[in-house]
A = this chain, B = another copy of it.
Amino acid sequence: MYTQTEENYLKAIFHLSEISSTGISTNAIAKKMATKPSSVTDMVQKLSEKKVIHYKKYQGVLLTSYGRKIAASIVRKHRLWEVFLVEKLNFSWDEVHEVAEQLEHIKSPKLTNELDTFLGFPKQDPHGDPIPDKEGNYDLLEKKLLATLGLGQSGICVGVNDSSSDFLQFLDKQKIALGYEIKVVGKEPFDGSMQLQISNREFSISNKIANNLYIKILPGS
């Protein structure tokens, strides 16, 4: 069994591993965990003894396959709870993270799997991130600019390129927000503008807008 702190370190290393494929540095972990590098050294030595990470002095760490499985199960719980909070308890996109950080540490395989069933086996969380299955496997969703999507494709809005207040206010006015599912229902070759559908609402945006919105493609679209 792992303490909440150990689980948080595993999760941090898991997320850092998704970016850099080399060994994860003590400093990188310290930054992510908002602690000091010396504390990280203490913890990675402990995690190494527990065989969940590979660690050699001064060489950074990597998850063992065992450690990766544990980390994935924590991420699975985190994202399932996020879906629950948004879909069943009227939480908004930006309120879920803090609570899910707590709920992800609840230890009960039955709870996790029944929750999964209750929610209808969702494949993505409200931010468009994939939910690992019981074995820890998940689909990597590709992040693209909205402008690159083809007709009929849909995805979840996950970020902006330009964060000027003009642009953010435009998004607000059009009721486009992170976490929304957007479907491309038309593309205008002449000016690159796009016809979009968000929850049965249709409207069009310019090419400039489409080049400033990041989207995660939903599989099978």
Task: State the A residues within 8 Å of B (CB).
Answer: 85, 88-91, 95, 98-99, 102-103, 105-108, 110-111, 114-115, 118
| A98-B102 contact, Cβ under 8 Å, with A89-B114, A89-B118 | no
- Whether A110 lies near B88 (C-beta < 8 A) is no
- Whether B114 lies near A90 (C-beta < 8 A) is yes
Shortest distance from the beta carbon of A56 to any chain B beta carbon, whole Å? 35
Say how many copies of this protein the assembly contains: 2
Q: Which residues of B contact A118 (CB under 8 A)?
A: 88-89
- A108–B90 CA distance with the chains assembled, in angstroms: 14
- A113–B110 CA distance with the chains assembled, in angstroms: 24
- Whether B102 lies near A85 (C-beta < 8 A) is no
Q: Which residues of B contact A108 (CB under 8 A)?
A: 98-99, 102
Q: Which residues of B contact A90 (CB under 8 A)?
A: 114
- A204–B218 CA distance with the chains assembled, in angstroms: 58
Shortest distance from the beta carbon of A49 to any chain B beta carbon, whole Å? 25
Q: Which residues of B contact A106 (CB under 8 A)?
A: 99, 102-103
Shortest distance from the beta carbon of A2 to any chain B beta carbon, whole Å? 14
Shortest distance from the beta carbon of A53 to any chain B beta carbon, whole Å? 25
Q: Which residues of B contact A114 (CB under 8 A)?
A: 89-91
- Whether A111 lies near B85 (C-beta < 8 A) is yes
A-B contact pairs, 21 of them (CB 8 A): A85-B111, A88-B118, A89-B111, A89-B114, A89-B115, A89-B118, A90-B114, A91-B110, A91-B114, A95-B110, A98-B108, A99-B106, A99-B108, A99-B110, A99-B111, A102-B105, A102-B106, A102-B107, A102-B108, A103-B103, A103-B106
